[in-house]
Amino acid sequence: MQPRIQPFIILIGIALVLSACADKAVKTASKGVETKKSDAAEVAIREPEGDSLNDALKLEQQGKFLDAAKIYGKHASTALPPLRQQLKLRAANALIAASLPNQARLMLNTIDMERMSAELQRLFALIHAKIALAERDGIASENWLAQITLAEGASNQEKVGLLKMRISSAELSGDSGSALRNRLLLGELLSDVEAIQANQFGILNTLTVLNVDTLDTMSNKTQSPLMQGWIQLAILSVKYKDPIRIARFLGEWRKRFPQHPASEALIASLVPQGETNTLPPRMDKIALLLPFEGPYKRASSAIRDGFLAAYYSRENKDEVVSIEVYNTENDPEQIVAIYQQAVADGATLVVGPLNKQSVEKLAAEIELSVPTLALNHVGSAELFKPNLFQFGLSPENEAEQIADRAWFDGHGKAVLIYPEGSWGERVAAAFKTRWETLGGVLLASETYIAKKNDFSTPLKKLLSIDQSNERYRNITKLLQTRMEYEPRRRQDIDFIFMAAYPRQARLIPPQLKFFNAGDIPVYATSHSYTGSIDRSSDRDMNGVVIGDMPWTLERKEVSNIKKTIYRTWPKDADKLTRLYALGVDAYNVLYYVNWLRSNPNARLAGVTGNLYMNANNQLLRQLSWARFRGGAPGQLSAIPMLSAQ
């Protein structure tokens, strides 16, 4: 699927129209000075002391939107209608571009609507819609956009801009039907190949986050052959997780919809097309490099067993594959020699090593002669090697997706609580970077000591309750009398990101309730959940939203391979469940690594998540989502991937 959709679209057409208004204003002012009209007219059009309108236009072009808004506002204060409204609209538009939607709204509130032309009223509504989008309010944006009808003869650019805003509003408010209808209309107006493909990926993204039952219902209701083709293509993608299985049915889809506009690039994101660079690597002999001594011993055993379980569950039993397991002994100094021995033994593909130090040493010291799937991510892009693929359960990647989910859910202001230590710092840094890149605001962050049971001190700081207490003490000291008092938390928090393991994740939510913050949504990574249902222990996590792998969340689709693993290794299956899943996907992804590398839009439905590959050959995972209810995670709908725009 297309990995990028815009969280909101800025309407280009409005900037062009407002620019024309400003140009007219400059010309009108110049004309008035030259002809020496009445004093009143001259006051209305003369330039106040300071920067000119031309300067404001230049500042906008330079990205200095706040400075430009100040100039427009200054000129508006001395202008008469309709020039006054034009300049205030221009100022409001610049304030939005400066990420100041509240100030833009205040500017709009000063505009006299009664004397505005139909054209300016359309612009007025458009800017209000942009403010709503900037504030993550899709419903308000849709309401403003519903008031807009483009004038006859509107340019194609204006039509495209308006449709993009309607799509963004619908996606933000969760109105998939409206988003799809507008995307189909948009497709009829686009001529640029890249824009057409981006819109088509948007259509399929919107559909593939729905389940098969919903898609079947939509298919039965639609009368549009075009829409029917998109729905059936989405059903193939959702129903048949394996690209090879999708390919079997794609021929039938082509026969049924021979004129469908779906691009070859989009089809290539669903199934390999047979090009040389998408062919699977040689899998004659696989070397599995894992440390079966030291702290990674149990993890290695779980990964190995999951890997072998996937091999024995493979669909093509005629495929001859030899697997040899090597013990790396948890010693990074030996990894190069062990790797070279595996290749000398005839390995055509290597899986491992597991720990980061060994992966980094391998990448830094030798050229990798065969495709190698490391089971961890190296820290530096400088260690990139064409034959090195990286796959692991990255906590940083999960933290970034928590930011995406919260942003998609319409939140804008976050607070963060995380444990002291390197793990907490890495998770916090990844979340903060992604959240602020998306446009979110991080109001506060606090650390806690993981071994403790009482987190009241960091929570009071996070919620600004300590400041409330300080204000109370100052007032009582000033008045020299005691008063009835209840501490009050800060009221501007949209959600809390809680970085925690299960023990802390079960203790923090009830303490939030104690501080009257139980109504604030809480988001957490998979680390907060053991992966096994325990309603008694997890009842205090009710309401917490987590991102996790399908293996632990999608119980209706428990695979035979998972049943086999739980039956064969009952003691370890619960405690190490995600590591077994990592082993399963480590085997299943081998066949598709070249396809994923050659097509950044490609997705492979794995048990650890929807797998895709970035430019550094790192396999990343799209998580599944759940909210705790009754002490157990209840599945939530998927979300499209967001781009940081």
**How far is residue 445 from each of residues 6, 471, 499, measured CA to CA in Å?**
27, 21, 11
Q: How is domain 12-189 classified at the architecture level of CATH? A: Alpha Horseshoe (1.25)
Give the CB-side neighbour count of residue 369, counting CA atoms within 13 A. 11
- The pLDDT value recorded for residue 26 is 39
Say if residue 353 is preceded by a cis peptide, omega within 30 of 0.
yes
Q: What CATH fold (topology level) applies to the domain 272-391+558-617?
A: Rossmann fold (3.40.50)
Query: Which residues are bridge partners to 372 per DSSP?
Result: 350, 388
- The pLDDT value recorded for residue 40 is 34
Query: CA–CA separation, 329 vs 336, rounded Å?
Result: 13
| Residue 417 near residue 462 (C-beta atoms within 8 A) | yes
Query: CA–CA separation, 390 vs 376, rounded Å?
Result: 6
- The pLDDT value recorded for residue 242 is 84
Q: Which residue has the tokens 């519903």?
A: 146
Give the CB-side neighbour count of residue 635, counting CA atoms within 13 A. 17
CATH for 396-549+623-636 (3.90.320.10, 3.30.1450.10, 3.40.50.2300, 3.80.30.20): 3.40.50.2300
Number of H-type helices and E-type strands within the chain:
28, 15
What is the torsional sign of CA 456, 459, 464, 465?
negative
Query: Which residues are bridge partners to 624 per DSSP?
Result: 548
- Classified as helix, coil or strand, 136 is coil
Residues of the chain under the 50 pLDDT cut: 1-50, 469, 472, 485, 644-645
In degrees and rounded to multiples of 5, residue 621 shows phi and psi of -125, 130
| Residue 356 near residue 378 (C-beta atoms within 8 A) | yes
Q: Which residue has the tokens 């297309």?
A: 2
Describe the strand order of the beta sheet including 495-498 as a list of residue ranges. Answer: 441-448, 413-419, 495-498, 522-524, 545-548, 624-629, 632-636
- The pLDDT value recorded for residue 278 is 79
Tokens of 500: 């925690």
Q: What is the pLDDT of residues 532-570, one digit of tens each?
A: 999 999 999 999 999 999 999 986 555 789 999 999 999
- The pLDDT value recorded for residue 534 is 95
Range(s) for CATH 3.40.50.2300 in the chain? 272-391+558-617, 396-549+623-636
- The pLDDT value recorded for residue 288 is 98
Distance of CA 501 to the CA centre of its chain: 23
Please list, residue by residue across 24-56, b when 16 or more beta carbons sit within 10 angstroms of its beta carbon and e when fewer do. ebbebbeebeeeeeeeeeeebbebeeebebeeb
pTM of the predicted protein model: 0.82
Range(s) for CATH 1.25.40 in the chain? 12-189
